[in-house]
């Protein structure tokens, strides 16, 4: 299998071409990313060396066919708390919750902001009920018509609260589990969550001086309203065992599999990628990253390609990176392989008008992938 002349294999990192045209996001940490099959969007981030404000109020879009970046002009009520916020994609909308401005913790958010990715217009959902406190470093997921928010920090205190926003009523509620205190997961931030089989799984995280192990994981059972504690299974291939405890890692979910990448334990930065099957609770070590990184972003397209961007690559020097990599977490479809080869061998497609692309038989969803930042 070939892509642009290179061998394409599952679980192999490939660097996104450098910004040869000088256009692309600068090095940062604490940002978030989302993706569909056509584009990846990177929102926010922090860098003390960033010109102007260290808190980066930007939305970038990466075309996943041309691998060209574009800084998107935004309209409306774009949030300013854009470090350690949470983001997810719902159709052509991006939802953001929480986050902090700089200095961290002095100005945090508990708003749900929505960006229409077609128009780059921001708005804030008007909600009632028992909303979470203003915080950052929390984890979010949408399940069964509700937005769930777990954990996070105010900058002074950590929590293990679980809240739900019902999208039909636009009302928040705090979920009180049917557990005693010792059965509830510890307070934490910069963890990740995944949903499978009516369970909300909590993966990693910690505080400023602790990290949570991954050989056992908590899940919240939506049916019984109880927290459950599970022993996971180690990867026996090459004595890989379990992933090390970590926080500030990336996480993407593809069907019943959750993939974590990078992170740190307070002393060491991780460079590994692990898969946890959420039905069997089996860990599998997937790959080694090109560089260790934490406070980065990870996003996966629905067809199984994960993109890792930015983060801190050297804690001692507080060094942030602007590197971007992609990795197929499952075998690419024949459609994807043929599409990449077609574009590589017929670059004139990038300059054709839409009506001409229709005439030669290019489908609408592939035309959407061809609309590169320059407008081709």
Number of domains in the chain: 1
94 lies in some domain: yes
Among residues of the chain, what percentage have pLDDT more than 70? 96
* Torsion sign (Cα): 101, 104, 106, 108: positive
348 lies in some domain: no
Contacts (Cβ under 8 Å, ≥6 apart) of 359: none
5 lies in some domain: no
369 lies in some domain: no
366 lies in some domain: no
233 lies in some domain: yes
- Helix, strand, or coil (residue 142): strand
Cα–Cα distance for residue pair 263/166, rounded to 1 Å: 31
Cα–Cα distance for residue pair 317/63, rounded to 1 Å: 32
Judged against a pLDDT cut of 70, whether residue 3 lies above it is answered with no
1 lies in some domain: no
What does the block give as tokens for 114? 């929505």
Tens-digit pLDDT profile for residues 269-328: 999 999 999 999 999 999 999 999 999 999 999 999 999 999 999 987 889 999 999 999
State the pLDDT confidence band at 138, using cuts at 50, 70 and 90.
very high
Among residues of the chain, what percentage have pLDDT more than 90? 79
Contacts (Cβ under 8 Å, ≥6 apart) of 273: 11, 259, 260, 261, 262, 285, 286, 287, 288, 289, 327
Q: Which domain holds residue 256?
A: 10-333
Say which DSSP state 109 is in. Answer: B
C-alpha 182, offset from chain centre: 30
Q: What per-residue string of b and e applies to 35-46 under the rule 16 or more CB within 10 Å gives b?
A: bbbbbbbbbbbb
Tens-digit pLDDT profile for residues 228-268: 999 999 998 878 899 999 999 999 999 999 999 999 999 99
15 lies in some domain: yes
Looking at residue 329, which CATH number applies to its domain? 2.120.10.80
Cα–Cα distance for residue pair 274/364, rounded to 1 Å: 35
Q: What per-residue string of b and e applies to 79-99 under the rule 16 or more CB within 10 Å gives b?
A: bebbbbbbbbbeeeebbbbbb
Tens-digit pLDDT profile for residues 77-126: 999 999 999 999 999 999 999 999 999 999 999 999 999 999 999 999 99
């Amino acid at each position: 299998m070939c892509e642009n002349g290179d061998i394409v294999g599952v679980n192999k990192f490939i660097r996104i071409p450098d910004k040869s045209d000088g256009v692309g996001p600068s090095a940062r940490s604490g940002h978030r990313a989302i993706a569909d099959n056509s584009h990846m969007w990177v929102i926010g981030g922090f860098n003390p060396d960033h010109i102007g404000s260290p808190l980066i109020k930007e939305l970038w879009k990466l075309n996943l066919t041309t691998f060209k970046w574009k800084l998107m002009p935004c309209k409306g009520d774009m949030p300013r708390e854009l470090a350690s916020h949470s983001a997810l994609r719902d159709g052509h909308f991006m939802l953001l919750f929480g986050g902090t401005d700089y200095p961290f913790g002095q100005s945090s958010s508990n708003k749900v902001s929505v960006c229409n990715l077609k128009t780059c217009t921001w708005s804030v959902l008007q909600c009632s009920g028992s909303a979470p406190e203003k915080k950052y470093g929390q984890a979010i997921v949408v399940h069964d018509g509700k937005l769930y928010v777990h954990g996070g920090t105010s900058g002074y205190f950590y929590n293990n609260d679980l809240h739900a926003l019902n999208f039909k009523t636009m009302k928040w509620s705090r979920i009180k589990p049917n557990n005693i205190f010792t059965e509830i997961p510890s307070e934490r931030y910069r963890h990740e969550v995944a949903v499978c089989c009516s369970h909300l799984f909590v993966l990693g995280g910690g505080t400023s001086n602790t990290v949570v192990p991954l050989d056992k994981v908590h899940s919240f059972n939506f049916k019984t309203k109880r927290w459950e504690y599970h022993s996971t299974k180690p990867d026996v291939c090459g004595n890989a065992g379990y992933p090390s405890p970590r926080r500030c890692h990336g996480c993407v979910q593809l069907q019943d599999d959750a993939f974590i990448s990078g992170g740190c334990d307070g002393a060491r930065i991780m460079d590994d990628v692990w898969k946890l099957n959420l039905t069997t609770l089996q860990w599998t070590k997937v790959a080694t990253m090109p560089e260790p990184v934490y406070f980065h972003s990870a996003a996966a397209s629905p067809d199984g390609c994960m993109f890792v961007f930015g983060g801190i690559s050297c804690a001692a020097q507080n060094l942030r990176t602007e590197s971007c990599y992609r990795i197929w977490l499952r075998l690419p479809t024949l459609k994807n392989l043929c599409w990449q080869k077609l574009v590589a061998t017929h670059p004139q497609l990038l300059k054709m008008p839409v009506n001409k692309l229709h005439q030669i038989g290019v489908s609408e969803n592939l035309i959407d992938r061809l609309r590169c930042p320059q407008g081709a």
